[in-house]
Amino acid sequence: MPAIPGASMASLTEDQLISRYFAPLATDNGARGLTDDAATLSVPEGQHLVVTTDALVAGVHFLPDDPPDLIARKSLRVNLSDLAAKGATPHAYTLCLALPEGWREEWLARFAEGLRQDGGEFGFALLGGDTVKTPGPLTIAVNAFGLTPTDRIPRRDGARPGDSLYVSGTIGDGALGLLTRTGQGGLTDLAAEDRDYLIRRYLLPQPRTGLAAAVLTHASASMDISDGFVGDLSKLLRASKVSADVELEAVPLSEAARHACALDAAHFERALTGGDDYEILCAVPLGEGSAFEGMARALGVTVTRVGTVTSGSEPPRFLEGDGRERKFGRGSFSHF
């Protein structure tokens, strides 16, 4: 973490740190103002709890000099994306924050402000967590809790031959935004508005929480796209023991991403495999496609049909406009 002007945190105890920056975020009654060893999570009658967790590490999931408020918001939003893919509405979260040497009060204040902003926007209450010091990079881990009115949430293993494949939003902006942010890939030649758009999409993904009800109502299988469209689709299909045909021309790209691909055709593969999308990928039974599209439209989320689930266990086929199959060098980002 780069040094940021401001008071050194060495003068604050852990209790003071928590009471100053995190206790004001704990609006849920079960959090007890973060003054106890554990919180109480109440599940309303008739609701079911959906739980997910994601960890973000400086230098892996974000750059150390990214704005602290956007780092905080991204740490929540990658989890909100998982909840949306299961048709769940946000409820509460816990936070574990491992701070390296050199942290400053100003940095933490901006980080907490980011949590406050998105907590209010998404109705996402802090329940508790832990703060520790680490000799390694800044690390943030969030456990997220969501609610659904049914335990029949769309998992990865529910896709069936004949289902239509849909994605929300646009694909590849986050991966291309990282390239732009780091000055790689020749994207300095993009127009300023395109560069700004892609970088913003990398820094602050848009979790499709508004799509949760449509996913819960219509999807036979669903997951969020975080590691790359090609690889994440393969994960869903393997879990469902099926294959698919994907129409590459149908995969939705933003205007900024199209302009990047026009500069270098290699960026198309980066867009489809690079990750950081945080969009929703789902399979919808053929007879429900129109209803799903209509419900998504009413909820204010754009969805695009990109292919069809087929029988068999072979990898999905990615088809060009002329019917030729395209192979990708890698499917997705992988930590290992």
In this structure, are residues 231 and 175 in contact, taking their beta carbons and an 8 Å threshold?
A: no
How many angstroms separate the CA atoms of 82 and 224, rounded?
Answer: 6
243 is in an annotated binding site: no
Q: Is 82 annotated as a binding residue?
A: yes
Helices (H) and strands (E) in the chain, counts: 10, 11
Q: Is 276 annotated as a binding residue?
A: yes
DSSP 322: T
- Has 195 been labeled as part of a binding site? no
129 is in an annotated binding site: yes
81 is in an annotated binding site: no
CA 307 vs CA 101, 141, 158, 286: distances in Å: 48, 34, 16, 11
CB 115 within 8 A of CB 52: no
Closest CA to 220 of 239, 206, 246: 239
* 264 is an annotated ligand-binding site residue: no
224 is an annotated ligand-binding site residue: yes
Has 290 been labeled as part of a binding site? no
The rounded radius of gyration (Å) of the Cα atoms in the chain is 21
15 is in an annotated binding site: no
Q: CA 236 to CA 219: how far, in whole Å? A: 13
Could you list the residues known to form a binding site for substrate, using ranges: 61, 276, 333
Could you list the residues known to form a binding site, using ranges: 37, 52-54, 61, 82, 129-130, 156, 224, 226-227, 276, 333
Could you list the residues known to form a binding site for ATP, using ranges: 129-130, 156, 226
Could you list the residues known to form a binding site for Mg(2+), using ranges: 37, 52-54, 82, 130, 224, 227
